[in-house]
Amino acid sequence: MAKSHSITQPERVLNLYHHLITDEYVNKQQYVLEYDINVRTFARDMVCIRQFLCAQDTYSEVKYDSKKGYSLSGYTKTKFSTEDMIVTLRMLINSRAFSKKYLDQLVELIIQSSPVYDQNSMRNIFKNELMYYVPLENINPNLFETIWQLEKLILKKSKITMNYTKANLETITTTVIPVSVMFSEYYFYIIAYADDDKYERPISFRIDRIIDFESADKCKATYLYEQSRICELKNKLQFMQGGEKLTITFKFWGKSLQAILDKFPNSEVIGYDGDKAIVKAHVLSKSAKMWLLSQAQYLEILSPEEFREDMKNTIEQMLDNYK
């Protein structure tokens, strides 16, 4: 049934915009019949919407498909629920990876994307946490721009040459092959390989310690970028320490066996010695060692023998500190 006689031109434009953000496609012929307007009027209304989107400097634009009709690109019709947003905000705040100013802006942006009737409740939930939020020291103000530039170079499979400050404050210049960006224990890292022909041991670099970088040659070893390989690598990284690939077995009798299995996603319980679980895991030696030592007296390495001896030597050195 025709509707144009009952609505004004601004109302009609808003109605068309509402169709674009709620429907997959707007069919011109159906629309002009429904609102009893001609094709020229429809075209003028569509120009108004395009001008509005351009003036707002949004990432959305109206696109036309000859078979389907008009649609709004760069706009998702699927929204986060309030529950989704609360969980996301919890993770963002607890990461401590953002400056206070940036986090305040980010939280408010997310809250404003929630249903209006939930916004005040969400602000009250996070008010005190934001007031007493303590970020990490010396957060790089260009960190997120750097991450984005690195992500684009990874997509291009490009090597990078960078100036980097090590933990001991030594500055080095090195060329590496970055394959992924990862967040762990408060920091963002690139996972990379040395620029040689072996690619045996991954190296992690804290992105906030990168002074500057530039793209280098394209990496020819494209298999390094295979997602199955990268996911397997990430599952073996604890404390971003890297090391040699090992298959270890150990006994564990602490409070939470599940925490062990979560920390080593490719681990499995292969047996029990009384109430002690025997776990098998595929790990990177240095990463695993750092975390296994944190389990105090509730864990014993069984194999391989060299790794067991390395753990014993480290524990003896720790004990010497208390003599």
Provide the pLDDT confidence category of residue 79 given band limits of 50, 70 and 90. low
Q: For position 22, which CATH number holds? A: 1.10.10.10
> What distance in Å separates the CA atoms of residue 126 and residue 312, rounded to the nearest whole number?
45
Radius of gyration of the chain (CA): 28
148 with 231, same domain? Answer: yes
148 with 213, same domain? Answer: yes
Does the global pTM surpass 0.75? no
In a domain, 35, yes or no: yes
> What distance in Å separates the CA atoms of residue 59 and residue 50, rounded to the nearest whole number?
12
Q: Mean pLDDT throughout 79-88?
A: 85
Task: Please check the confidence at residue 1 and state whether its pLDDT lies above 60.
Answer: no
Q: Mean pLDDT throughout 63-82?
A: 80
In a domain, 252, yes or no: yes
Task: Please check the confidence at residue 317 and state whether its pLDDT lies above 60.
Answer: yes
> What distance in Å separates the CA atoms of residue 273 and residue 266, rounded to the nearest whole number?
21
Q: Count structural domains, the chain.
A: 4
Is the pLDDT higher at 162 or at 79?
Answer: 162
In a domain, 138, yes or no: no
125 with 165, same domain? Answer: no
Provide the pLDDT confidence category of residue 198 given band limits of 50, 70 and 90. confident
In a domain, 124, yes or no: yes
> What distance in Å separates the CA atoms of residue 258 and residue 1, rounded to the nearest whole number?
62
Task: Please check the confidence at residue 52 and state whether its pLDDT lies above 70.
Answer: yes
Percent pLDDT > 70 in the chain is 93
> What distance in Å separates the CA atoms of residue 30 and residue 2, rounded to the nearest whole number?
11
In a domain, 292, yes or no: yes
Are residues 297 and 315 in contact, defined by beta-carbon separation less than 8 angstroms?
no
Q: Mean pLDDT throughout 87-91?
A: 92
Task: Please check the confidence at residue 240 and state whether its pLDDT lies above 70.
Answer: no
Domain membership of residue 174 as a residue range: 143-235
Final residue of a structural domain among 23, 54, 73: 73
169 with 96, same domain? Answer: no
Q: For position 250, which CATH number holds? A: 3.30.70
Position 3 scores a pLDDT of 53
Distances (CA, A) of 72 to 63, 133, 180, 290: 6, 38, 32, 50
Task: Please check the confidence at residue 76 and state whether its pLDDT lies above 70.
Answer: no
164 with 211, same domain? Answer: yes
**18-38 pLDDT, tens digit each:** 888 776 788 888 888 888 888
In a domain, 137, yes or no: no
**96-152 pLDDT, tens digit each:** 888 899 899 999 988 888 877 888 999 999 999 999 998 888 788 888 899 999 999
Nearest by Cα to 75 from 113, 46, 36, 104:
113
In a domain, 96, yes or no: yes
30 with 102, same domain? Answer: no
Pick the range with the lowest mean pLDDT from 74-83, 153-162, 247-256, 314-323: 74-83
**180-197 pLDDT, tens digit each:** 998 888 889 998 988 876
Are residues 95 and 186 in contact, defined by beta-carbon separation less than 8 angstroms?
yes
What integer best gives the mean pLDDT of the chain? 86
